[in-house]
Structure 1
Amino acid sequence: MDPTIYFTLLLFLLPLYLILRRKTSKQLPPGSFGLPIIGHSLSFLRAMHTDTVEQWFQRRIKKYGPIYKLSLFGTPGVFIHGQAANKFIYTCDSDTVVPHQPPSFKMICGERNILELNGEEHKRIRGALMSFLKPEVLKQYVGKMDEEIRKHLEIHWHGKQKIKVMPSMKTLTFNIMSSLLFGIEQGASRDALIELIQQISNGSVSLPINIPFTCFHRGLRARAKFRTMIMDLIKQRRAALTNETALPQQDLITCLLNIQNNDNSIILSDEEIVNNVIVLMIAGHDTSSILITFLVRLLATDPTVYATISKEQEEIAKSKASGELLTWNDLAKMKYTWRVALETLRIYPPVYGAFKKVLKDFEYEGHTIPKGWQIVLASCMAHMDEQIFPDPSKFDPTRFENQASIPPFSFVAFGGGPRTCPGYEFARIETLTTMHYLVTKFTWKLSCLDNFTRNPVPNFKQGLPIEIQPK
């Protein structure tokens, strides 16, 4: 062949080769996709189950650096963590990155829920939920929550010598939500609802195999029954609003039905109410009960923290007349108790991270993250960053004496930015009111050293059994 042709081809191919080589070197982060299809899923789930997921991530950080590729649940992805990563994800535009829940979650909870939506749709749903969950509205429910907690302790704690804390707190938080969110009081309806919610919760994080006897199949059936119950409640509340026999904010469903756009059109459809009620029940049922369980364990093992919380709560109790319910102002005095709760969430976050989906290629820290990948955000690894929280393994509630001093997106137990958990204040009231009555009415000690696993949220193997005595 004519040497001129070789030279011409070389001139043409060399720039292309250099471009491709440069693109390849920048295109993907370092790392490995692991085994075909399976990827790293099995070892990741094992780490979650043994609560060693941070160590699992750290081993790969040591090998590949702070950003690396991996494959989980059949999808290629990139791992990121830290304050800057949290800020990027929580504030990223919805044209680039969107939430990415497991298929089973979307199929059981519905596509029109707050965790699936983004942009204006997310803003609309969040705004509707916040119309009930904002502090100025929740103030009026402190007394009702107080009554539910007293009733629970009277039935399930008084007169007992041993308690399994985690199942007891799950029952309590479920009862509180049933009463405040749906107006369902104790009885057959509430008993049926708790079993359905448990099946829905289990099914939403299972393999989406719809055959009899699987968690997913049971979850789908439970969702259908739950939907029927909530639809019946919606009809009842709508009729009560029409007949003016219901207060606009007597419970969440009534509140959602009552809010309208400026043109008097509805904000949420009935199906959107059902979907978001399911998500709120799952989230609220798990997160608050987990936090309270860890607080009970902490107070059994740290006499200094117990003594300080006890003093704070006893002073509030002494200021109340016999049988008088707690108020919003009483909760405002529980500053140390809430700092202890926040420090507990820093070390033991109920949700460790999040998955996101990439809608279009983008550059991040010198790497190209391709469309279709998932982002594995280990958001709570920022909680153990010694540059932000010195001596991070040490339990130190004073870190939260001045929350303004904590850099944004460093403490993300309740999310961040526009995706901050709308139930933050609800969880705070629930936790503080419960701890007030536990500390002022009982003393306790651990029955055994009960370890916990993550599946995907913390769960104590034996339910955290304790021995209790009335004060």
Structure 2
Amino acid sequence: MDPMTMLSVSILFYFILLVISLCSIRAFLWRRKITTTQSAAGGIKQLPPGSSGWPFIGETIEFYRAGLVGVPEKFFFDRFRKYSSQVFKTSLLGETVIVIGGTASGNKFLFSNEGKLVNAWYPPSVRKLIPISSHLSNEQDYLKAARKAYPKFLSQEAVKSYIGIMDSMTKRHFETHWDKYTSTKEEMVTTTIHPLVKNYSFLMACRLLLSMDVEQETHRLNELQKLFVIVLNGILSIPIDFPGTPFNLAIKASILIKKQITTMIKERKLRLLSHENKSERDLLSLMIMFSEEESGKFMEEKFIADMIMGLIIAGHDSTTSVMTMVMKYLVDFPNVYDQVLREQTEIAKSKGTEELLTWSDIQKMKYSWNVVCEVMRLAPPGPGGFKQALEDFTYAGYFIPKGCKLYWSSIATHKNPDYFPDPEKFDPWRFQGGGPAPFTFVPFSGGPGTCSGKEYVRVQILVFIHHLVKRYKLEKSIPSNPKEEEKLIFKPFPTLTKGLPICIRAH
């Protein structure tokens, strides 16, 4: 080994050693802080049982490993059985975390106490990639401002105005990007679906949020999409900002994305001032014109860029995941596909040739939405979420100190046989009528912290399904080697190992 290589290896080794040492000291100080707090509160109180795992790494490897073999719930179920049926302590992504979840009561406690005992919290990697804008003093001010603003742009009324655009764009997208992959009677063509769906959801987000012309701005969109892929790869990585790491690359990509969005904001402001785009009612224009009721102040460009970027990240990957998984289950269960097709065909028959879908049409897609809900139960687009304790409190007899990080798991709740008998079975009828009990089905969180984009996502997915089944018959592609069969894994988001290779035929 040459001297320069040896030097580089030595530097890297000592850097890793330093990081591990600092994190070990941090963990020690955190435990000491808890003990001091307990003593000050009057006597030692019992903390939730559990293990912090390895220094810095904690139990992150076990957490990811369970997902990579397709059973992320195993990480939680094993520890619930070992330590406590309701709460346990672990360490994830460099943070000591107390898990409260897997039960309806745990979810209800966390969601109902949003803004009282707990608040949303994001890992350092997320906070670094989507930093707090300069006019806000802390993370909670950012979250409060975002929660005031988002409902204005993602309300039911706002979403209703997007349906026509979604409908016409989805139809054109299938014609342009999907029809060329259809199989014929003479030839079976296997198409990998995930990249097609990913492209669709990204273009739809850019069209609806930024009014980008998906046909004329292809180069700009391609560059943006590459940058978002880099950010998504690094957003839940271990936050080591060292050249070449996924996290370091993601930081650089996020800076470039925000520069591009800020440029679009400046361009849009000029057009709004000159009244050139009165007809544009996309989210970007609404954000620029939005002012706080109390102060009358408009939002800063940096804050708008952060919010737009966050929306695209949240919506792009999650909707891609759900739509891909919907196609997988429609292929696996032809009887479910046939029932969805019947429902969508009835809606199509009630429309004129060029008539666009409306809100009332979306409301008729009840069985289709049941299918989507069952898909999100088995493969939730978000694995769970982090919270932070705003003050000391007790849960299930255990002491939770102020400042402690908490985690709730959607997959652990969705696979709980107490709420969903035969939890591995795909059964859309679970959601018929009143559906599952409150706080047992939580793909969009719950309480005051419920995802603001829930209605937007619902409409987009249903419009996609409407055109998909109306246009194509889906057929399973049988691999020549059984070992190459498709598997569902979680990294930590649900992913199909082969990207869903299937055959699509035009009706």
With the length of structure 2 as denominator, give the TM-score of the two structures. Answer: 0.83
Indicate conservation of the 8 Å contact 1:451/1:461, yes or no.
yes
Q: How does 1:360-399 map to 2 (within 5 A)?
A: 360-399=391-430
2:53 is the counterpart of 1:34: yes
Listed as ranges, the gaps of 5+ residues in structure 1 are 1-18
The separation in 2 between residues aligned to 1:218 and 1:31, in whole angstroms, is 34
Of the candidates 340, 347, 352, which is equivalent to residue 309 of structure 1?
A: 340
Deviation at 1:369, TM superposition (A): 1.6
Of the candidates 383, 405, 423, which is equivalent to residue 352 of structure 1?
A: 383
Deviation at 1:112, TM superposition (A): 4.9
SS of 1:463 mapped into structure 2: coil
Q: How does 1:417-456 map to 2 (within 5 A)?
A: 417-447=447-477, 448=479, 449-456=485-492
C-alpha change, 1:222 and 1:464, in structure 2 (3 Å) is: same
Indicate conservation of the 8 Å contact 1:248/1:254, yes or no.
no
The separation in 1 between residues aligned to 2:66 and 2:461, in whole angstroms, is 29
The separation in 1 between residues aligned to 2:63 and 2:43, in whole angstroms, is 30
C-alpha change, 1:263 and 1:65, in structure 2 (3 Å) is: closer
Of the candidates 133, 136, 145, which is equivalent to residue 124 of structure 1?
A: 145
Q: For 2:311, give the aligned amino acid.
A: L
Structure showing greater Rg: 1
C-alpha change, 1:153 and 1:454, in structure 2 (3 Å) is: same
C-alpha change, 1:231 and 1:248, in structure 2 (3 Å) is: farther
Indicate conservation of the 8 Å contact 1:128/1:267, yes or no.
no
Q: For 2:174, give the aligned amino acid.
A: L
Deviation at 1:285, TM superposition (A): 0.7
SS of 1:159 mapped into structure 2: helix
**The 10-residue stretch of structure 1 (248-257 or 310-319) with the greater mean CA deviation from structure 2:** 248-257
2:196 is the counterpart of 1:158: no
The separation in 2 between residues aligned to 1:263 and 1:371, in whole angstroms, is 30
Indicate conservation of the 8 Å contact 2:160/2:359, yes or no.
yes
1:179-209: CA deviation from partner (whole Å, max 9, x where unpaired)? 0100111222222211111112222222333
Q: For 1:423, give the aligned amino acid.
A: G
Q: How does 1:13-28 map to 2 (within 5 A)?
A: 23-24=43-44, 26-28=45-47
**The 10-residue stretch of structure 1 (457-466 or 30-39) with the greater mean CA deviation from structure 2:** 30-39
Of the candidates 278, 287, 291, which is equivalent to residue 260 of structure 1?
A: 291
Indicate conservation of the 8 Å contact 2:72/2:490, yes or no.
no
Q: How does 1:261-340 map to 2 (within 5 A)?
A: 261-262=292-293, 265-340=296-371
The separation in 2 between residues aligned to 1:215 and 1:71, in whole angstroms, is 21
Identity of aligned residues (%): 34
The separation in 2 between residues aligned to 1:362 and 1:303, in whole angstroms, is 50
Q: How does 1:397-416 map to 2 (within 5 A)?
A: 397-403=428-434, 406-416=436-446
Deviation at 1:384, TM superposition (A): 2.8
Of the candidates 229, 237, 250, which is equivalent to residue 198 of structure 1?
A: 229
1:428-457: CA deviation from partner (whole Å, max 9, x where unpaired)? 111111111110111122224311322221
Q: For 1:58, give the aligned amino acid.
A: F
1:89-147: CA deviation from partner (whole Å, max 9, x where unpaired)? 12225464333322121111123599x954x7534322312212111122122111112
The separation in 2 between residues aligned to 1:74 and 1:213, in whole angstroms, is 20
Give the alignment's Cα RMSD to 1 decimal. Answer: 2.4
1:288-311: CA deviation from partner (whole Å, max 9, x where unpaired)? 111111111111111221111111
Deviation at 1:244, TM superposition (A): 1.8
Indicate conservation of the 8 Å contact 2:129/2:251, yes or no.
yes
Q: How many residues align?
A: 448
Indicate conservation of the 8 Å contact 1:248/1:258, yes or no.
no
C-alpha change, 1:414 and 1:337, in structure 2 (3 Å) is: same
Indicate conservation of the 8 Å contact 2:77/2:412, yes or no.
no
Deviation at 1:415, TM superposition (A): 1.1
Q: For 1:184, give the aligned amino acid.
A: M
Give the corresponding residue for 2:213.
185
2:131 is the counterpart of 1:110: yes
Give the corresponding residue for 2:92.
72
Deviation at 1:23, TM superposition (A): 4.8
